[in-house]
């Protein structure tokens, strides 16, 4: 019987090494690793009870100035592209031919589409937007504070990411 036990142990060793060789050839070696324990994600429920009007005014002013700069550059680039394509000249010619008669030359709209006029109106509109957006945002913060004092504010849930 001891010989049978030794033979069985030898065969078991051979079978084990053959299995390992097969697994290493396929690239899939099984390892039993301990499962990774993840800590539960933390979460906090907060209430936005007050918004400082001064900080809202500063933020809205800076945001509206940035929006004004973007608007002004976009209008300037669009004007240059349309002028290079001859859109304003074509529009002037079309309006002049429609409004002309045998006794008059027609309406001259070339000064309506000058760069100084277009960019000047864009600047005025941008300045007005800066003032209005800043004022409306600040008044909105004050109104939010009044409503939050009576109702309790906005509840926000903050959670850690994985």
Residue 2 included in any domain:
no
Backbone angles phi, psi at 46, to 5 degrees: -120, 160
Residue 151 included in any domain:
yes
For the chain, the first-to-last Cα distance in angstroms comes to 59
Residue 108 included in any domain:
no
pTM recorded for the entire structure:
0.64
Residue 21 included in any domain:
no
Residue 145 included in any domain:
yes
For residue 96, what are the CA distances in angstroms to 69, 85, 99? 34, 19, 5
Residue 89 included in any domain:
no
Q: How many domains does the chain have?
A: 1
Spatial distance between the Cα atoms of 123 and 128, rounded to a whole number of angstroms: 9
Residue 106 included in any domain:
no
Q: pLDDT digit of tens for each residue in the chain (162 aa)?
A: 555 555 555 555 555 555 555 555 555 555 666 677 777 788 899 898 999 999 999 999 999 999 999 999 999 999 999 999 998 888 888 877 787 766 776 677 777 888 899 999 999 999 999 999 999 999 999 999 999 999 988 999 989 887
Domain containing 131 equals 52-84+115-159
Spatial distance between the Cα atoms of 109 and 40, rounded to a whole number of angstroms: 70
Residue 62 included in any domain:
yes
């Amino acid at each position: 019987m001891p010989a049978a036990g030794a033979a069985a142990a030898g065969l078991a060793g051979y079978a084990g090494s053959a299995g390992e060789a097969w697994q290493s050839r396929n690239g899939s070696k099984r390892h039993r690793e301990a499962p990774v324990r993840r800590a539960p994600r933390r979460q906090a429920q907060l209430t936005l009870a007050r918004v400082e009007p001064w900080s809202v005014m500063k933020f809205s002013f800076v945001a509206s100035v940035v929006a004004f700069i973007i608007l002004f550059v976009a209008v300037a680039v669009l004007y240059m592209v349309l002028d290079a394509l001859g859109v304003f000249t074509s529009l002037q010619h079309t309006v002049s031919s429609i409004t002309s008669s045998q006794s008059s030359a027609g309406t001259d709209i070339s000064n309506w589409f000058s760069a100084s006029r277009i960019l000047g109106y864009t600047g005025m509109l941008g300045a007005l937007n800066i003032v209005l957006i800043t004022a409306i945002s600040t008044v909105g913060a004050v109104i939010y504070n009044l409503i939050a004092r009576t109702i309790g504010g906005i509840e926000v849930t903050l959670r850690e990411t994985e």
